[in-house]
């Protein structure tokens, strides 16, 4: 069986506190944690930041903090993350930031992915917007100011392909299925900010479901919980293996989560439970086609 993950790879998840109103302070805080992660485990090759780490996670702030995302004329956050990736020679999943498209004036919640040279290799605009009204829970409507993305995203790394979603995208299994089947991804990475209502109910369940359904790793990176901010993130950044086991997990506060992704774990589970040979696309459609 050919390996979709070429070798063992170390990953670090940076669980930062909920972003302040000071963008530069947010960026510097992220750099401090990435620097620390690399000092702790210098062999780390993949680093992940949380959703909307550089700005407040608030529908009335997205447009104010939005930047034009370009690989050629880099904005403040894009240039900062590019330099951070190049300095440490890592593949950096730079969380997500509010993006504005100058051609349409639309604002997106956009994940940025950089290679080891600091090049911006791809972006993912959040496809499924978080519009919910939970009785006695939370009301939040991203579509008030955000537009939805229109593509699935899978990026190459030196170790294999990785699918990307953002937070609410996790609740829809199709993006992960496409990454696994169409692009042979070894992992799905979700910068996310589940809240203290939805997190305890479905955070772990969804990570385990995406892993077991696709027999690959699922990586969730959340902001730390900050009860003084307007949005209370759940925390609990985690890595789930192909069998649905949580192999590394943060608590609620600021923390760095280290884990090792092992190709043997993928191969062994796919050999013992051969879903890829047993799917019945004569009965139901293949969403990856």
The residues annotated with a catalytic role in the active site are: 51, 126, 167
Burial of 136 (C-beta count, 10 Å sphere; 0-12/13-18/19+): exposed
Length of the chain: 289
Nearest CA-CA partner of 166 in 239, 91, 97, 246: 97
What is the Cα 178 distance to its own chain's centre?
16
Max alpha carbon distance in the chain (Å)?
Answer: 54
């Amino acid at each position: 069986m050919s390996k979709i993950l070429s070798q063992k790879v170390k990953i670090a998840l940076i669980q930062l506190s909920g972003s302040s109103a000071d963008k530069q302070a947010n960026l510097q805080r992220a750099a401090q944690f990435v620097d620390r992660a690399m000092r702790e485990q210098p062999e780390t090759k993949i680093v992940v930041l949380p959703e909307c780490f550089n700005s407040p996670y608030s529908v009335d702030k997205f447009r104010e903090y939005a930047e034009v995302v370009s690989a050629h004329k880099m904005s403040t956050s894009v240039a900062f993350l590019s330099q951070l990736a190049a300095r440490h020679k890592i593949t950096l999943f730079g969380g997500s930031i509010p993006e504005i498209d100058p051609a349409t004036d639309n604002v997106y919640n956009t994940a940025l992915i950089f290679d080891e040279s600091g090049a911006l290799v791809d972006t993912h605009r959040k496809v499924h917007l978080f519009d919910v009204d939970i009785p006695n829970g939370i009301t939040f409507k991203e579509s008030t100011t955000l537009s939805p993305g229109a593509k699935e995203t899978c990026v190459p790394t030196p170790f294999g392909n990785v699918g990307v979603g953002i937070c609410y995208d996790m609740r829809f299994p199709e993006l992960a299925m496409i990454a696994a089947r169409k692009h042979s991804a070894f992992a799905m990475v979700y910068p996310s900010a589940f809240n203290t209502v939805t997190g305890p109910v479905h955070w772990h369940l969804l990570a385990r479901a995406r892993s077991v359904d696709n027999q690959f790793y699922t990586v969730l990176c959340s902001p730390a919980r900050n009860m003084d901010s307007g949005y209370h993130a759940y925390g609990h950044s985690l890595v789930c293996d192909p069998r649905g086991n949580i192999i590394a997990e943060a608590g609620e506060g600021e923390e760095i989560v280290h884990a090792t992704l092992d190709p043997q774990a993928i191969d062994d589970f796919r050999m013992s439970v051969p879903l890829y040979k047993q799917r019945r696309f004569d009965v139901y459609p293949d969403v990856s086609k």
